[in-house]
């Protein structure tokens, strides 16, 4: 992707935020709501004192984190997204900035979440390395970084390798088995403005059923890879 294309995409997303819309529809799509619930549960297992939510959008995941972590920070590239997120959630501390130069001191956080991560952010190879280096820099020694990424399965191993080369020790790799749901959603696009389609997209029971089916198939039925890593000293 060229720099001009990246700039055009970012401007389009910023325009959506400024006009009051929600890019990516994280609040309306059941599978994204369940993904955020899954992330929050994983974070809760580690009982961090503080956390950084990178790429927070309108703070959908951030709000969940404030229920389980005493101190929550969140950051997004979009000024309009941050302004709207701050207005919806007074319990978190929001900032605007880029993942390639995070405005936080080294070792500031017990836990860092990047959802979705380096591929979804449309970074070039050099910036992906810079982003992962920054995630490592701001996490405390023995702290954890959780990266979830929506991509094709052939790129899962590539991302795991990138994380390892950023001097982060890969602790665990998991999958969300959500490919059947995304396929189902693509079938709904032809009737996306119908009320029934909107209801199905927001149905947690439907999403859970498709995720259970994906789990039976195995990792090939996943569009999300989830990498838990620890900072190496």
Say which residue, 116 or 143, is predicted with more confidence. Answer: 143
Say which residue, 8 or 51, is predicted with more confidence. Answer: 51
Say which residue, 192 or 131, is predicted with more confidence. Answer: 131
pLDDT at position 21: 86
CA atoms of 183 and 55, how far apart (whole Å): 25
For residue 64, is pLDDT > 70?
yes
pLDDT at position 160: 96
pLDDT at position 232: 79
Mean pLDDT of the chain: 92
Say which residue, 23 or 144, is predicted with more confidence. Answer: 144
Q: How confident is the model at residue 8 (pLDDT cuts 50, 70, 90)?
A: low
CA atoms of 232 and 28, how far apart (whole Å): 38
Domains of the chain in start order, with CATH, are 3-176+219-231 (3.40.50.150)
Residue 108 in contact with residue 52, Cβ under 8 Å?
yes
Helix H, strand E, coil C: the string for 86-100 is HHHCCCCEEEECCHH
Per-residue model confidence as pLDDT tens digits over 71-93: 999 999 999 999 999 999 999 99
Q: How confident is the model at residue 6 (pLDDT cuts 50, 70, 90)?
A: low
Which residues of the chain form beta strands (DSSP E)? 50-54, 71-76, 93-96, 109-115, 139-150, 168-175, 224-231
Helix axes 30-46, 204-217, angle to 10 degrees: 70
For residue 5, is pLDDT > 60?
no
CA atoms of 31 and 206, how far apart (whole Å): 9
- Quote the Cα angle for 179-28-159, to 5°: 40
Taking residues 210-233, what's their average pLDDT? 94
DSSP helix/strand/coil, 145? strand
Q: How confident is the model at residue 7 (pLDDT cuts 50, 70, 90)?
A: low
By CB neighbour count within 10 A (0-12 exposed, 13-18 middle, 19+ buried), where does 24 fall?
Answer: middle
For residue 168, is pLDDT > 60?
yes
For residue 217, is pLDDT > 90?
yes
CA atoms of 233 and 228, how far apart (whole Å): 16
What are the Cα distances from residue 111, in Å, to 40, 104, 121, 135? 12, 13, 20, 10
- Strands 139-150 and 109-115 turn out to be parallel
pLDDT at position 182: 94
For residue 2, is pLDDT > 70?
no
CA atoms of 184 and 223, how far apart (whole Å): 13
pLDDT at position 9: 67
């Amino acid at each position: 992707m060229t720099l001009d294309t990246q700039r055009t995409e970012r401007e389009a997303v910023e325009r959506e935020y400024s006009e009051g819309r929600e890019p990516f529809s994280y609040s309306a799509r059941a599978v994204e709501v369940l993904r955020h619930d899954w992330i929050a549960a994983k974070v809760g297992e580690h009982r961090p004192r503080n956390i950084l939510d990178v790429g927070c959008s309108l703070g959908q995941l951030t709000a969940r984190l404030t229920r389980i972590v005493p101190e929550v920070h969140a950051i997004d590239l979009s000024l309009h997204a941050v302004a709207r997120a701050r207005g919806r959630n007074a319990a978190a501390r929001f900032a605007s900035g880029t993942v390639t130069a995070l405005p936080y001191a080294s070792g500031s956080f017990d836990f860092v979440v990047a959802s979705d991560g380096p591929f979804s952010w449309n970074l070039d190879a050099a910036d992906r390395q810079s982003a992962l280096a920054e995630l490592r820099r701001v996490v405390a020694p023995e702290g954890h970084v959780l990266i979830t990424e929506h991509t094709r399965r052939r790129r899962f191993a590539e991302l795991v390798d990138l994380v390892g080369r950023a001097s982060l020790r890969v602790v665990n790799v998991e999958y969300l088995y959500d490919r059947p749901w995304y396929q189902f959603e693509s079938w709904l696009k032809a009737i996306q403005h119908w009320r029934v389609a909107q209801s199905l997209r927001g149905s947690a029971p439907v999403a859970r059923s498709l995720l259970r089916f994906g789990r039976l198939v195995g990792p090939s039925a996943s569009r999300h890879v989830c990498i838990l890593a620890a900072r190496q000293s």
